[in-house]
Structure 1
Amino acid sequence: MGLSVPIIYNTSSFDSVDSLTLLDGLVDIYLADFKVWEAATSRRLLKAHDYAETARESIRIMHAQVGDLSFTSDGIAKRGVLLRHLVMPGLEEEGRQIMRWLAGNVSPDLYVHIMEQYRPDAHVGKKRRSNRTGEETTRYKEINRAVREDEIVGVKAAAVKAGLWRFCEPDERPFHL
């Protein structure tokens, strides 16, 4: 009937090769996250020891399927990958690693949204009593603060230094639908 809208797949990038293979040809835009770089961090914060390895493979596959993000002449996203990275407190170096890897292994033309809106929530900062010692501790103490401006600037500087140049700026929407 003349209506043509892009199909968007919003993902943490913790996808299996099989599931992405099934999506090939169906998805126009992958809205993909790359959360953390280190296996120890993904085990601790995401409860997934192989998140980074899986995300790297998934993002490569997504990009091979749809390429860099492209837009219509009036600025509407039509096809490609938009990669999001939420800068986390104290994890600036992991963000830097992710940016270097994206530029060198996916595409320097990848559209990247370096997100700065992390706020402690859910279980972060809550008190809990240890079963072994009976001692009260703060859960996820290392990320129990807002991200600092210098951490955001550091990740963005690493992205630019690595060759990335297409960024979603904080006052922009990621794309128009």
Structure 2
Amino acid sequence: MYPGIPWQRDIAHQRNGFDLTPEELGEWFLKLQTVGNVHNINLVTPEHVVPQVALSILAARDMGLRVPIIYNTSSFDSLESLQLLDGLVDIYLPDFKVWRSSTSKRLLKADDYASTAMESIKEMHRQVGDLAFTSDGIAKKGVLLRHLVMPGKGDEGREIMRWLAENVSRDLYVHIMEQYHPDAHVGKTKRVTRRVRLGEGAAPEEEVRYADINRAVRDEELVSVRDAAVKAGLWRFCEPNENSAFHL
């Protein structure tokens, strides 16, 4: 699991929660099914606790869990951890964030992000295949791949779409997301001291952090990634709206 990202999508950064054993977590899964009447159990970025998650799923199924398990991930997973989940996870929700190692090193602090994501996404698809739905439009099994289009990174998004079509499946369900928001560390000022001549005061000057992504995504950037996906042969896109029958 990489250290973190300097921007936000719809992510909360608060450190709230409490400790549970795998069996206790499994009991919570069951409560959500019976009391909450949920469609699924959505596990968000659990890469660092996969062995415990696997045990909790097994315990919950022994107690009667029937709803699908969703594994919601950055795709910076090890193959070993994903193989522990084979047969336990019904729906994978992986991100494919960026393509170039220089970008991932700078923004994600992980220069091997793309290569790791490629292996992880192929393994997820091997396990559960393309996304399938119940007769009433609720996702039941498969992969839903997400890509957040970022300012100035449309070329990386286009490469990702081509790779997915050629190496995973042209029937892959893809969500090309537009809700990038320059928050967290993006746009904050950092103080640096410029070199000055002898006798001058050392006047500090301000620079904006991650200035290249300190803006909203433009419509043409979104369109270019979508067009590249269609040209590569992808056709199943997640476009939820008020008239959509699609549910997770």
Query: TM class by shorter-chain length?
Result: over 0.9
The alpha-carbon distance between structure 1 residues 142 and 97, as it changes in their structure 2 partners (threshold 3 A), is same
Is residue 187 of structure 2 the alignment partner of residue 125 of structure 1?
Answer: yes
Segments of structure 1 that go 5 or more residues without pairing to the other structure are none
Gaps of 5+ in 2: 1-62, 196-203
Q: Deviation at 1:74?
A: 1.1
Distance in 2, Cα, partners of 1:24 & 1:2: 19
1:176 equivalent in alignment to 2:243: no
Which stretches of structure 1, 4 residues or longer, exceed 6 Å deviation after superposition?
none
Alignment partner, residue 95 of structure 1: 157
TM-score scaled by length of structure 1: 0.94
Q: Using the alignment, how far apart are the partners of 2:228 and 2:160 within structure 1?
A: 9
TM-aligned CA distance change 1:174 to 1:57, over 3 Å: farther
Indicate the residue corresponding to 1:52 in structure 2: 114
User: Aligned pair count?
Assistant: 177
TM-score by length of 2: 0.68
162-171 or 26-35: bigger deviation: 162-171
Write the distance in 2 (CA, Å) between the matches of 1:135 and 1:3. 58
Deviations 1:13-50 (A, max 9, x none): 00001100101110000011000000000001111110
Summarize the alignment of residues 70-81 of structure 1 with structure 2, pairs less than 5 Å apart: 70-81=132-143
Instruction: Indicate yes or no: 2:216 matched with 1:142.
Output: no
Which of structures 1 and 2 has the larger relative contact order (alpha carbons within 8 angstroms, sep 6+)?
1
- The residue number in structure 2 matching 1:41 is 103
* Aligned match of 2:9: none
RMSD: 1.9
Amino acid at match of 1:71: F
Task: Please give the alpha-carbon distance, in whole angstroms, between the structure 1 residues aligned to 2:191 and 2:68.
Answer: 48
Report the secondary structure of 1:61's partner residue: helix
Letter of the structure 2 residue corresponding to residue 84 of structure 1: R
Residues 127 and 165 from structure 1, CA distance in 2 versus in 1: closer, same or farther, beyond 3 angstroms?
same
CA shift digits 1:130-151 (9 cap, x unpaired): 3786542110000000000000
Equivalent residues of 1:114, 1:168 under 8 A apart: yes
Matched, 1:21 2:67: no
Q: Which amino acid aligns with 1:65?
A: Q
Would the aligned equivalents of 2:240 and 2:246 in 1 still touch at CA under 8 Å? no
| Mean Cα deviation higher: 25-34 or 162-171 | 162-171
Structure-2 change in CA distance of 1:111 and 1:145 (3 Å): same
Aligned-partner residue type, residue 239 of structure 2: E
Q: Percent identity?
A: 76
Shift in Å, 1:115: 0.2
